A and B are shown apart, each in its own frame.
Chain A
Amino acid sequence: MKKDIILSGVGGQGILSIATVIGKAALKKGLYMKQAEVHGMSQRGGDVQSNLRISDKPIASDLIATGKCDLIISLEPMESLRYLPYLNKEGWLVTNSTPFINIDNYPSEEDLKKELDKVPHKVVINVDDIAKEAGSARVANIVLLGATIPFLGIDYETMRQSVREIFERKGEAIVEMNLKALAAGKEIADKHLQ
């Protein structure tokens, strides 16, 4: 088992919280893991990414090679496209559809759609809307994470346990809301696959 995952978004959107949940689940499964993050100047309002590698064998590089990525998880549509050269032929792209516009030359909605349409294996969802339905806009990341479950190589129950453990200290209500968000995301991906 090997999954090379690129997480992307804009500084402040919270891609690392997604990485934390997957990482915890991977450790539960006794898998090897490496996760390269971006800190410092490159964070503030700029593009951010994290390379997350999970495998049942020891992992050499902290970075994922071109054409070898199995899954792009992005909280922002243009940012999801930034890492296309890394995606492998059978790889999946799971992205939020809501743009984060903080530059003047942000591409048009039409161009974004056209480019995303070129990707054969993808799930594009408005995680913010679904998060609000689940109880709070703050669980948007977990909705997106839910939508990646069919592609992660880690079972749903382990992911649920990981979410539970990470949010446990914030109380049962928060745990339930996040589990609901995870389920909502998963449901969309499952529907998409049918």
Chain B
Amino acid sequence: MSEVPVTKDATPVADALVALSGVNKHFGALHVLQDINLNIARGEVVVVIGPSGSGKSTLCRTINRLETIDSGTITIDGKPLPQEGKELARLRADVGMVFQSFNLFAHKTVLENVMLGQLKVRKIDKKTAEEKARTLLDRVGVGKQADKYPAQMSGGQQQRVAIARALAMDPKAILFDEPTSALDPEMINEVLDVMQQLARDGMTMVVVTHEMGFARSAANRVVFMADGRIVEEAEPEEFFNNPRSDRAKDFLSKILHH
């Protein structure tokens, strides 16, 4: 396996919004993240791909500290991730997260889901919060379903609500942890369309996905991970047409031709 040198430069780039340097994490004996260095610039869309178990979801979850790390540093907007507590809560409010299994609050309506963070974390008044929630729900195309409960909606609709819920916090960046992996095929596009639009609007996004089409069309950069390491980083065209590492060639040959 040919290793392609990736940037080992650990100093955060001046305009890096998210900067990981020398990040290591173990799950028991499994070294799931190995010396990860990654800088994500403001407005950049980074797509993380790789085989299952390569650590890409874990990487995504470390950025808002849903997973702790064993060593290394993660900074967001120049500030290192704080310990669990009020300060971390404040920081998480600025970094949206969209999950594979949507995780909408099951006991609250769609509208309440999108309002809750605004009311309880941002302390915005109810009227403003509701207006904003309705605008966002319209934007992701589920404005008419505002009074439904999550269980009454399709997966694609739920995921779009989840995106609206993240957007309601006015985040600096949004992390997408396999946002379409739990969806029926015909619902994937409606979610990807919303994400495409966000990318065009200049949102900083980290997207863990298996959707190569999205990676090609929306990403500024593709990060390929395998066995806990970043094996290759490149612009999408270059990565898909001309992968440098054997591991990436192997991966792409498996998913693109069958």
The answer on A and B forming one complex is no
Which residues from chain A sit less than 8 Å from chain B, CB to CB? none
Where the two chains meet, the residues of B that have a C-beta atom closer than 8 Å to any C-beta of A are: none
